[in-house]
Chain A
């Protein structure tokens, strides 16, 4: 925790960060390489299944596959072979298809990349080009089909590069819309009332896959505005970009919206207003002041979509990296999985470095010279309506849970399937005729409890790791782009099917947003004058931490955690197919949403109920925290 920035210290910090990245990447690749040996599932069996579904797994066939893949050589030798091939642009041959991995991963990666883009279009373009360029240098490799690889990869790559422009653009747009009011009022010095950010909370808690389903049905099938699936032209990227960008944008917007009042409260803004500078000028200044604290969130929120948008990729039939990684992981197609993981890790590190550079560019000298005033929220009045809103949400949830608990959530009645809401079934029934109100009510406690515990563990881990920013930068970047499913597979391999496995898996990857945020905020806070003053007055480390550093980090961290709560619920449920988490038919909100998703159009109430419950929970958490903050001040 040095407060001065001498060149030597800067150099050593650079080395620490680089070592952290290499170490994290190595650990990850090692873990992935061990997957078949950890999971106890014979890769020969999974590969045979992937190639030929109904084939009888005779010992002879399995032996043939094992022989072909060189499975007997063990994990380390295999990893060494694969690593040895990488510098030559040779990532091995897919165990399932027998086709070279590089072009596959390159294509999928670039498709995924296009899904997340935006301000970094150019940089990401370069990266994708580079990745796509690897196989290009390796003209000796050919597809199994015998068709030339290069034109195929080249076209696919340029295709995906074209489309870099979606999800991120939407994210930026939504972020802008969410904070528009604060910026407008703030820049005109009319910011009096506090805001709960209910809109942001509602949008951020919309499940992406549900949004994707609705968009595909409504805009794709009913209105025919855009293709409902495929990846064929600029029009194909509109719907997936919206589905991915709206919740992400709302989450970032919600965080930015809460940080802005502090910037407008600073003396420079008052002076600028008094001098009569245009409000746009003040708004820009405030954004420049607050964006650096938000930028690290791009990594887990937007860049992570490259590997973590599996559900949306499936719904829109986009051949992205998330699906490729998941399919190869399930089939234990190690060469593909390793290359995909490596690509994701590299992407995370590259994006992390870029974001860091961007932050430093925005904050500039003050950060270096330790002359950055700390941001402090002005006292704002909490609107009365907020209290009512919070009470209404709480009451609604309470009624829901009590009413639900009085009913049987497991009673299957095949004659009463997909009934619309009525007196007997206030929220309707699902495809098996089970009462949805009962399932929501019984699932509420378990869902909220597990999600809260996971969020709390992740946030505390993130906070602790974020306090050692140099060492944790690498792991944070590597982990933030890692899909939770991959962690789930590793956990399932170690523990087998288990109730707490899903929670563990989400904790393993879930801390990265908080670590990134803590690191960024602490860096800014340490550069502020009052810390230097405290040190000069003889404050110890503990005192600094308790009185200055933590109070500046924790509120923002809490806000972030609460906004991410609904996502946690959904991610937990998404690991069910690995046998992690509660097994069906136990009701659980995430599962309610995913198991009813196919009926979204036929019986909309089957998903509306759970989605609304999730929204109410999220709004309650966010408004509750605002009320708590109001009291605290």
Chain B
């Protein structure tokens, strides 16, 4: 045992010696010093918080960077860095900027805005908010910017609220196309340090145009595992933990548990292109067999709403404008299903990335088997199966989809998922009526009637039974008792702002 004992002794002797260089930065395990907020976020940065990646939402969640506009509760545009805007003609808009300062001390000018938007347009691959539009920006004078789109874009002010189009100072944009929001935003908090994929330190930016933030700073840690996030909150290691998994939600104190309707809808996508569900009667049988409300209290532990359509309670205007689905195909009986499937097995796919989906698939399997189908599951990591999904190798997919993408407009989602040329058309839907309805919605400029047309399109899509909505998810945010002013945003774009603070 001699060698090992020595090693052990050496190890023990080294511990106190090296303990000093442990935590990069602060070793804050107690309460945040001086009222600093401690936040545990779920998705670690993939591109050093570049606004052109997944990381963009972090910038808006933590109020680091802002766009020309922002979204209000109802999903309409309100002033951000632009105080007002007007549409000059179909493709031209003018934005008046407010007096604001970047965190690096430079002034917000029209030139800076042009620079930021030009970089976003030239980014490769394009940020998804710009995927269907070409934007040209020009500085009219010091605080006026003219934006021109190639084709008419009624949603432009909504688009500009996307965190991907946040305005950063010239310093942020490197020659090689990399973008760094560290100390280059205009928000009330500035990133002081980003420590790889695990931690970031944010300090209050005193020059914020909207007044000083109440919290002196934010300490962000990224904890990918949901249980670990919940544990961090329960153990008092963090003040705010986002996205608590439903399995952990019940363990949280009632006062720290806050549910928010999310724009995510989980649905069963049926492959209309090939296989057994090319038959509309079988699709109708599957639709009739599947009951999403059975998932709400079981798989989702109550943190979901039974599906009303593609758009749930997080889309406030949807319920009032919903169009009833009529002329639905008659569902086949169990006996007809048996003969209709001709002994084929229903290949039911789902992915492991969202913990609830595999459980939901098992419940659905039983429901479908009751209706006469023979079901076989295929559950894998999403990236492992995306190619197969788009190639139509499965009959059905339990799918979780964000229905309002970056624009805050639903047409994007409908067009990519359900039109015949849609790039994300897993159902393989090719239906003239659906195409027409979605095109009509896309062309509509008036917000009210656009929303109505979107709901018409929803009814057209549901009539085909290519998609069976199951539940509308709710996100559970864990917020410690002594924190106030946290924003519960269905779009998951805001979390902390000027008014958030420790009591």
Query: Residues on A close to B: CB < 8 A?
Result: 40-42, 45-46, 48-62, 64-65, 67-68, 96-99, 104, 107, 117-122, 143-147, 152, 155-156, 158-159, 161-165, 168-169, 172-173, 176, 213, 216-217, 220-221, 224, 227-235, 283-284, 287-288, 291, 314-317, 319, 330-332, 358, 362, 410-412, 414-415, 417, 431-433, 492, 497, 576-579, 583-585, 595, 598-599, 601-602
Interface string of B289-320 (1 = CB under 8 A from A): 00000110111000000000000000000000
Q: Can you name the residue of chain A whose Cβ is closest to the Cβ of B194?
A: A145
Interface-facing stretch out of B81-89, B229-237, B270-278, B447-455 = B229-237
The verdict on B134 contacting chain A, using a C-beta distance below 8 Å, is no
Determine if A159 and B384 form an interchain contact, defined as CB atoms under 8 angstroms apart.
Answer: no
B432, CB-defined interface residue at 8 Å: no
Q: In the assembled complex, which residues on chain A have CB atoms less than 8 Å from the CB atom of B379? A: 576-577, 579, 583-584
Contact of B231 among A169, A173, A228, A287 (CB under 8 A): A228
Judge whether B366 is part of the interface by a CB distance below 8 angstroms: yes
A232 with B29: in contact, given A315-B225, A412-B362, A492-B384 (CB under 8 Å)? yes
Q: A61-B125, A158-B18, A230-B221 are in contact. Are A51 and B47 (CB under 8 A)?
A: yes
* Cβ contact within 8 Å between B294 and A414: yes
Asked, given contacts A51-B54, A57-B424, A330-B381, whether A147 binds B14 with beta carbons under 8 Å apart, the answer is no
Contacting pair B48 A143 (CB below 8 A): yes
Also in contact, A585 and B377, with CB within 8 A (given A52-B53, A431-B247):
yes
Q: Which chain B residues numbered 43 to 71 have a C-beta less than 8 Å away from chain A? A: 45-50, 52-54
How far apart sit A216 and B382, CA to CA, in the bound complex (Å)? 28
The proximity string for B residues 452-496 relative to A, scoring 1 for CB distances below 8 Å and 0 otherwise, is: 000000000000000000000000000000000000000000000
Q: Which 9 A-B pairs have the closest CB atoms?
A: A119-B7, A414-B298, A162-B18, A598-B247, A165-B11, A158-B21, A228-B231, A579-B380, A145-B48
Docked-complex contact A96 and B196, CB < 8 angstroms = no
Instruction: State in angstroms the CA–CA spacing of A208 and B386 once bound together.
Output: 31
Chain A residues whose CB sits within 8 angstroms of the CB of B193 once the complex forms: 147
What distance in Å separates the Cβ of A329 from its nearest Cβ neighbour in chain B? 10
Q: Which of chain B's residues have a CB closer than 8 A to the CB of A62? A: 125
A121 to B11, CA, bound (A): 7
Name the residue in A55, A233, A578 with the highest tally of chain B Cβ atoms < 10 Å from its Cβ: A55
By the criterion CB–CB under 8 Å, are A119 and B128 in contact? no
Query: Is B402 engaged at the interface, CB distance under 8 Å to the other chain?
Result: yes
B24 touches A42 (CB 8 A): no
Q: Tell me the complex Cα distance, A314–B223, Å.
A: 8
Task: Assess the B49–A172 pair: CB atoms within 8 A.
Answer: no
Interface: B365 (CB within 8 A): yes
Cβ distance A502 to chain B, nearest Cβ, rounded Å? 12
Cross-chain contact A176 with B48 (CB below 8 angstroms): no
Q: Quote the shortest CB–CB distance from A364 to chain B (angstroms).
A: 13
Known: A162-B18, A433-B298. A52 touches B128 (CB 8 A): yes
| Pair count A-B, CB < 8 A | 300
One of A54, A64, A99, A432 near B363 (C-beta < 8 A): A432
In the complex, how many angstroms separate the beta carbon of B370 from the nearest chain A beta carbon? 11
Interface residues of B in 340-378 (CB under 8 A from A): 352, 355, 358-359, 361-363, 365-366, 376-378
Question: Is A49 a contact of B383 with CB atoms below 8 Å?
Answer: yes
- Contacts A146-B174, A598-B355 given; does A118 touch B8 at CB 8 Å: yes
Bound CA–CA A472/B386 (angstroms): 39
Shortest CB-to-CB span from A606 to chain B, Å, is 10
Give the contacts of B1-31 with A (CB-CB under 8 A). Answer: 1-4, 6-8, 10-12, 14-15, 18-19, 21-24, 27, 29
Q: Given A228-B228, A228-B237, A598-B355, are A147 and B194 also a contact pair (CB < 8 Å)?
A: yes
CB neighbours (8 Å) of A228 from chain B are 228, 231-232, 234-235, 237
Shortest C-beta distance, A163 to chain B (Å), equals 8
Which residues of B lie under 8 Å from residue A288 when comparing CB positions?
2
A152 to B286, CA, bound (A): 55
* Interface positions of B from 127 to 147, Cβ below 8 Å from A: 127-128, 131
Report the separation of the CA atoms of residues A42 and B197 in the bound assembly, to the nearest whole angstrom.
Answer: 25
With beta carbons under 8 angstroms apart, the residue of B10, B53, B401 that contacts A51 is B53
Contacts of B76 in A (CB 8 A): none
The residue of chain B having its C-beta at the shortest distance from the C-beta of A117 within the complex is B11
Assess whether A51 is in contact with B46, with CB atoms less than 8 Å apart. Answer: yes
Assembly CA distance A172 to B355 (angstroms): 36
* A151 to B, closest residue via Cβ: B24
Check if B3 sits within 8 Å of A233, measured CB to CB: no
Chain A residue at minimal CB-CB distance from B350 = A584
**A interface footprint on B87-131 (CB within 8 Å = 1, 0 otherwise):** 000000000000000000000000000000000000011111001
Task: Give the chain B neighbours of A415 by CB distance below 8 A.
Answer: 298
Name 6 interchain pairs, CB-CB below 8 A, sorted by A.
Answer: A119-B8, A121-B10, A159-B24, A224-B236, A317-B221, A602-B248
Q: How far is the CB of B20 from chain A (nearest CB, A)?
A: 8
> In the complex, are the beta carbons of B10 and A227 less than 8 A apart?
no
Total interface residues in chain B, CB < 8 Å: 97
- Distance (whole angstroms) from the CB of B243 to the closest CB of chain A: 13
Chain A residues in 8 Å Cβ range of B383: 41, 45-46, 49-50, 330-332
- B 182-216 to A, binary, CB cutoff 8 A, 1 in contact else 0: 10000000000111111000000000000000000
- Determine the main DSSP class of B at the interface with A: mixed
Give the chain A neighbours of B235 by CB distance below 8 A. 220-221, 224, 227-228
Give complex CA distance A497, B355 in Å. Answer: 20
Q: With A61-B131, A159-B22, A233-B22 in contact, do A118 and B4 touch (Cβ < 8 Å)?
A: yes
Q: With a CB–CB cut-off of 8 A, which chain A residues contact B237?
A: 227-230
B298 lies within 8 A of A172 (CB): no
Closest to A156 in B: B24
- The reply to whether B234 and A233 contact each other, CB–CB distance below 8 Å, is no
Query: What chain A residues lie within 8 Å of B297 (beta carbons)?
Result: 414
* A162 proximity list for chain B (CB < 8 A): 14-15, 18-19, 21-22
Rounded to whole angstroms, the CA-CA distance of A217 and B50 in the bound complex is 35
Q: Which of A216, A417, A492, A602 contacts B251 (CB 8 A)?
A: A602
Chain A residue numbers with a CB within 8 Å of B6 are: 119
CB pair A284–B48 under 8 Å, yes or no, is no
Would you call A155 and B24 a contact (CB within 8 A)? yes
Partner among B49, B361, B362, B423 whose Cβ is within 8 Å of the Cβ of A58: B423
In the complex, residue of chain A having the shortest beta-carbon distance to the beta carbon of B174: A146
Would you call A233 and B363 a contact (CB within 8 A)? no
- Cα–Cα distance between A229 and B224 once the two chains are bound (Å): 11
Give the chain B neighbours of A578 by CB distance below 8 A: 380-381, 384
B56 to chain A, nearest CB (A): 9
Q: A172-B7, A599-B247 are in contact. List 16 more A-B contacts (CB 8 A).
A: A120-B7, A143-B48, A144-B50, A145-B48, A146-B178, A164-B14, A227-B235, A228-B231, A231-B198, A233-B27, A314-B224, A412-B365, A414-B294, A417-B298, A579-B385, A585-B362
A169 → chain B, closest Cβ, in Å?
5
Most chain A Cβ neighbours within 10 Å, of B10, B127, B231: B231
How far is it, in angstroms, between the C-alpha of A176 and the C-alpha of B195 when the chains are bound? 39
What residues on A are CB-neighbors of B355 within 8 Å?
Answer: 598
Decide if B196 touches A156 in the complex (CB within 8 Å).
Answer: yes
**What residue in chain B is nearest A118 (Cβ atoms)?**
B7
B79 sits at the interface (CB 8 A): no
Q: Pick the contact of B131: A56, A233, A431, A601 (CB < 8 A).
A: A56
Indicate which residue in B21, B131, B424 contacts A155 across the interface (CB closer than 8 Å): B21
A56 to B386 alpha-carbon distance, docked (Å): 12
Q: How many Å from the CB of B195 to the closest CB on chain A?
A: 7
Q: Complex: how many Å from CA A173 to CA B8?
A: 9
Residues of chain B lying within 8 A (CB to CB) of residue A217: 231
Does residue B227 face the partner (Cβ distance < 8 Å to A)? yes
CB closest residue in chain A, given B379: A584
Contacts of A172 in B (CB 8 A): 4, 7-8
B431 interface contact, C-beta 8 A: no
Chain B residues contacting A412 (CB-CB under 8 Å) are 362-363, 365-366
B250 located at the interface, meaning its Cβ lies under 8 Å from any Cβ of chain A in the complex: yes
A213 to B230, CA, bound (A): 12
Contact B365 A56 (CB under 8 A): no
Interface centre among A98, A99, A158 (most CB of B within 10 A): A98
